[in-house]
Chain A
Amino acid sequence: MRECDGGGRGIDRGDARCVKLAAIIVRSSRKGNKEDRQTNRMTLSTKDRLVGRPVPRKEGRAKVTGAARYVDDLVLPGMLHGVTVRSPFPRGRITGVHFGEGIPWDEFTVVTARDVPGHNYVALILNDQPYLADRVVNHAEEPVLLLAHADKYLLEEARRAVKIEAEPLPAVFDIEESLEPKEIIWGADNVFKTFLVEKGKVEEVWDRGDVVVVEGEYRTGAQEQLYIETNGVIAEVSPETGVTVRGSMQCPYYVHKALVKLFDLPEDKVRVIQTETGGGFGGKEEYPSMIAGHAALLAWKSGRPVKMVYDRAEDMVATTKRHPSRTRHRTAVTRGGKLVGMEIDFDIDGGAYATLSSVVLSRGTIHAAGPYNCPNVRIRSRAVATNVPPHGAFRGFGAPQSIFALERHLDKVAAAVGLTPEELRRRNFITKGETTATGQVIREDVDLPGLLDRAFELTDYQSKRERFARENEGARRKRGIGFATFMHGAGFTGSGEKYLQSIVGCEATAEGRVRVLAASTEIGQGTKTVFAQIAAEALGLDYETVEVVQPDTADVPNSGPTVASRTTMIVGKLVESAALQLRETLKGAGLISDSYTQSEWARACGEYTSRHGALRKHVQYQQPAEIEWDDERYRGDAYGAYAWAVYVAEVSVDTLTYEARVEDFVAVQEVGRVIHPVLAAGQIEGGVAQGIGWTLYENVVWRGGRMANGQMTNYIIPTSADIPPIRVHFFENPYAGGPGGAKGIGELPMDGPAPAILNAVEHATGHAFDFVPLTPEAVMDALEGETAGAAK
């Protein structure tokens, strides 16, 4: 393992635990010495000309100059605008729809559930969510009716004039009410999905004389993704070409699959094109299938192209958010600090329809026991139904919720046996050859103690821990420092990647240009740049020679969804393989030898295409033989690879205003191989910022199943002034299954901030908070008994 620092100076970390310890990058230090890094990289390995280098972003120039065209920038001839009329009721039987006075209704295209030409469900997993409510509504903001008109201002008048009448039905709004059950609102028992993970015999540990049993309950709230660009699409429908939708999305083939069912069309009569996308964070994983279907229904009925773009208020209240969760822990630990039994009950609130909740639950379940070696573990989990808009994918996908609970709980466990938080973790860190909760044997070198040492060294953790405790007595601003240790699996869970069977193509043009063909989307994270680096590196060509084609289901194969930290690791590896096949083909044809120049490559491509036609190679994902997963028992290799991390947060809590702020943040992680140091550090910084938001600021206020604060003025996300310096340090330990050794990192940084920050808040205040968001109001409720001097 080696660490990267901004200047690229390698640091030997002569540590016996790990095989090869050396060091590389770190921070996307804006002042980092670029020259140094580049020279150093070249001498480290002349082979890595592009991997590990901060090449310019492929789509960066267009974004910076404003030339990039987002869906709302596009206007098609004859285009109408579309809007959705939504249910104001959380649950009810629709008794009528009233069209108000003063609107020229004959000019409008109106679509209801009765108009749906194919299947009225959003095809995903359980297909239980209708495109348009028919007879009943199960959550507020549920789509009931669609309107289109050329005048988008008149359209808003019309939307206001439609009144949905319903006979209310009893509703449930949280996990407790759902499980009670206060009312059955879904299936037989309100439960979308359950999992059971068992390792050892946890029921035998509780009565052992040598253990201390520690219990705790932890909760997390909903969170809005708040991508900069709201959801939006344009749909066209014609008898000749079928349905075409272009728009902002993460997963073109999810939208494709949903439209095929909605219109009951053959696959080649549906085309989905991703336009430049302003962020997703999971919020554009499943939801675009909904808005795409709505626009397409309006286009189909009106015979005109239809644009639908949500404004911020609609996007906030109606689209998916992070699942709220409740986790209960019961832990048996020896007095010497060895974990011997962990019983974990993990429940998430899925909202009104199943959507992706089962998969979110799966990831949260598997991550619930963390990077620790415990012989006896039982994890039971449930995703339950409530009458709120369906919760969905959001960076981390269930893992931030269960990891928050565990990493808060372990501080409590440590205190119960008189150990420091770090000592308890050190005594239980998983190491090579040991098994996770699902029985996955860790085959790679993992050095959590080394990451912890480095994180503590960078933050001066030990001395701050002592100093703050000493200085906090009587201080108006109390300070604290805390940390979390965790891992995040990259790629789809278990056999997910095997079922996906992702395909990537690479094509060489007659001029020698290389085109990467994949459905993986650039959503701001750097897909295009990283794919181009990988292909160019594999072929020994210039970065500029490679073009990554804009995802269009008519042109690109299905490389799977852009989710689950899988794009670089899984799809990137396929890009590498497909690129190498181009080279092998040219070699096999005798047109190039083992080494070649850029111009020799171009000549060879010209020669090949004139003789044989197009040079295009596709590769399909093959699961490595050593990955074994049992879907029935939920045992085995849950993920091909994990990124490992230690995050340290320093906080201050103002005893006048009860505001907690993060003052410093260090993120140390081992990620296989860093492909692009600036983009990688950007992923970590962004995830940490989003994690800080989830922890201390972002509070979805629910009233009767509706988000009451769906405006950016009242749903508080942190500004740059609220985000501390985020110091990012990468350790590298190349993973054979990833391109150039890379593992996935997109979700990882969402996991650590919440527990690290709350552990620090406990250090600062002495209060063990067990929920996020931790608002100043909640801090006041806990502290006010102690703030002598203020009158009641």
Chain B
Amino acid sequence: MINEEIDASTLADSQKPIAEFRNVSKRFGSVLAASGLNLKITKGEFLSFLGPSGCGKTTALRMLAGFEAASEGDVLLDGEVVNGLDAHHRPVNMVFQHYALFPHMTVAQNIGYGLKQRRPRLPKSLITEKVGKALDVVRLGGYENRRIWEMSGGQQQRVALARAIINEPKLLLLDEPMAALDRKLRKEMQIELQNLQRQLGITFVLVTHDQEEALSMSDRICVMKDGKIVQVGSPQELYDRPSNRYVAGFVGTSNFFDGKVTRIAGTRASVLLENGVEVEGSSVSQVSVAQSVCISVRPEQIKLHRKGEGANVKVLNRIFLGEHTEYLVKHETLGEFFVLSPRQSELNDGPFNTGDVLFASWEASAALVLDSN
């Protein structure tokens, strides 16, 4: 997925992050919106802050933009502490959630706004030229003199994007930029944003509550909860090796079975489930004996058979999804869980119907032993 060249260049630059949070906390009155944030943002990467509303992701973004000052700790841009630096002095630009385009200006005036603020002044001809180029980049050539209210939602978003990138910022901040678009347009914009990021080489920092959006666009995702960073990693890392139950549930879907650790052997751990059955799983993070944990198994990791080994389950519901079929099955003591079967495996055993009694099994390596929090 990740472009090889960018990978190489990020490695070379990784000594000096383009932006950094050093033990940053932010208080609004008695509310702790962000606490103990530590994060390095690498030059040229596409990083997403992912989490539900109120998790502190927007606060983190606003501290990068300069709209909020950290209560504790340091925010660094390009190696310099910028704690007290006003937004208008920061080499950072933002695409706002509802675009925040100036309604009394034309498309060209909106896009040229940042260049117009430069001191010493840039020649008008240069601004006009750059505005034209920026419009071409977002495929809105010829729309210079349109009014903002004459543009559709998707077009407005492109204007907002052009207005930000024309300044060649060190960081482009995107605050839920796709929230107001319909599903189809959102998909298109996601691809376009990714292409744009590679083309321009600007570091993108996205804030979103949409896991699909974060998974499909980011080089790295920073999962947040209650003002804290829970885990940072590539989409694959977060999906395959979530550090706890929260991340496993937020990045993709998973089935969880609660239990207690009985034995640990290397990366394997035995867990006594609540129904008295002991199962083996692989621990991706530190767990200790007697700790309350949960076993997380992705629906696609569970196999259903007509005969053989495994837990006895009954099919409660079946949803045909084309390439896959999703089953809701019920085990007598484990309760209900989801299974996602690829079409191919079904062809062997024939499709399963509601009411069928089957065997469900999974590899021990697919069962992750996770901290219950």
The judgment on whether A and B are partners is: no
Interface positions of A (Cβ within 8 A of B)? none
